[in-house]
Amino acid sequence: MKLPFNIDLKNKVIVITGAGGVLCGMFSEALALTGAKIALLDLNEQAADVQAKKITECGGIAKAYKCNVLDKENIESVREEILKDFGTCDILINGAGGNNPKATTDEEYFSAENAGKVKSFFDLDKSGVEFVFNLNFLGTLLPTQVFAADMTSKDDASIINISSMNAFTPLTKIPAYSGAKAAISNFTKWLAVYFSKTNIRCNAIAPGFFVTKQNEKLLFNEDGTPTPRTEKILNATPMGRFGNAEELIGTLLFLVSKEASGFVNGVVIPVDGGFSAYSGV
């Protein structure tokens, strides 16, 4: 991997949740190239370990930790381990998040004809909605409580949350995920104000649409032609293409660098090829 520009984060400790996943795995690799020590936290320890090994094999400093972002005691004990291995956290990236099929409708619009035959809004399962709100919102709040406590006395610290396009305008079928990501954008601003008398800045990235291994099958048919959802996404993206996940890295480096963005606080930056700017007309 080659960074779009270099920043120096030598001796900084960066804690990344969801680091075994597609986007935060890549963020971990990118940030390791700045010289920082990377703590990769994930419920899926094996996935985090694979990413950590990739980094150490290239000469970077990284370690994987099994961590459930919904279990505060667990996060606290992981903080103790990181303290022994690397020191206190300077930069926290709250990346763990996701949706759940139990909180997703089958169709975009209510249709009386299909009632009872498809999963409609009325069939959404409370446990699915709770899962999505907890993972995205509490899963950002709890690690922030634990790690930001060590950041309040630092002269340069930063929190990055991961929002989404659906925080600006909800996407069809996924009301809980949309609401939970709207809460993340809102919480990002709340944290920025709350910590503004310290040297902690808090900002968020709102990724647009990226093809990853996870969503490839939803976006493209086996013969490589786009699915109907892909056509809708691309029609709503003025640049007319999906993003490459690496295109998020420049924004990430900008936000974590005090030299580059020292007066940027409480923003949610869309990286979306113009999706959130376009009304469709």
CA dist 262 and 199 (Å) reads 9
Please tell me which residue in 109, 177, 194, 278 is annotated as part of the active site. Answer: 177
Name the segment binding ligand NAD (CB under 6 A); options: 61-69, 148-156, 191-199, 273-281.
61-69
Measured at CB, which residue is nearest to ligand NAD? 21
8-state DSSP, 92: E
CA angle 16/62/12 to nearest 5° reads 70
Task: Tell me if residue 222 falls in helix, strand or coil.
Answer: coil
Instruction: Give φ, ψ of 81 to 5 degrees.
Output: -65, -45
Q: State yes or no: residue 169 binds ligand NAD (CB under 6 A).
A: no
In the stretch 32-51, what mask flags binding to ligand NAD with x, by CB under 6 A? ----------xxx--x----
Q: State yes or no: residue 268 binds ligand NAD (CB under 6 A).
A: no
Cβ proximity of 131 and 125 under 8 Å: no
- Shorter beta-carbon distance to ligand NAD: residue 33 or 205: 205
Q: State yes or no: residue 233 binds ligand NAD (CB under 6 A).
A: no
**Known catalytic residue at 177:** yes
Shortest distance, position 245 Cβ to ligand NAD, whole Å: 8
Whose tokens are 């303290």? That residue is 83
Whose tokens are 């990853």? That residue is 212
Shortest distance, position 209 Cβ to ligand NAD, whole Å: 6
Name the segment binding ligand NAD (CB under 6 A); options: 64-72, 82-90, 185-193, 259-267.
64-72
What residue ranges in 135-262 does DSSP mark as E strands? 157-162, 200-207
Whose tokens are 């959404």? That residue is 124
Q: State yes or no: residue 138 binds ligand NAD (CB under 6 A).
A: no
Cβ proximity of 75 and 146 under 8 Å: yes
Q: State yes or no: residue 98 binds ligand NAD (CB under 6 A).
A: yes
Give the tokens for residue 147.
Answer: 């790690």
Q: What is the 3-state secondary structure (H, E, C) of 36-81?
A: CEEEEEECCHHHHHHHHHHHHHCCCEEEEEECCCCCHHHHHHHHHH
Q: State yes or no: residue 219 binds ligand NAD (CB under 6 A).
A: no
Cβ proximity of 104 and 174 under 8 Å: yes
- Shorter beta-carbon distance to ligand NAD: residue 138 or 199: 138
Q: State yes or no: residue 273 binds ligand NAD (CB under 6 A).
A: no
Instruction: Give φ, ψ of 91 to 5 degrees.
Output: -135, 125
Q: State yes or no: residue 20 binds ligand NAD (CB under 6 A).
A: yes
How many chain residues interact with ligand NAD (CB under 6 A)?
A: 27
Q: State yes or no: residue 74 binds ligand NAD (CB under 6 A).
A: no
* Residue numbers annotated as active site: 177
Binding site for ligand NAD (CB under 6 A): 17-18, 20-24, 42-44, 47, 67-70, 95-98, 135, 139, 162, 164, 207, 210, 212, 214
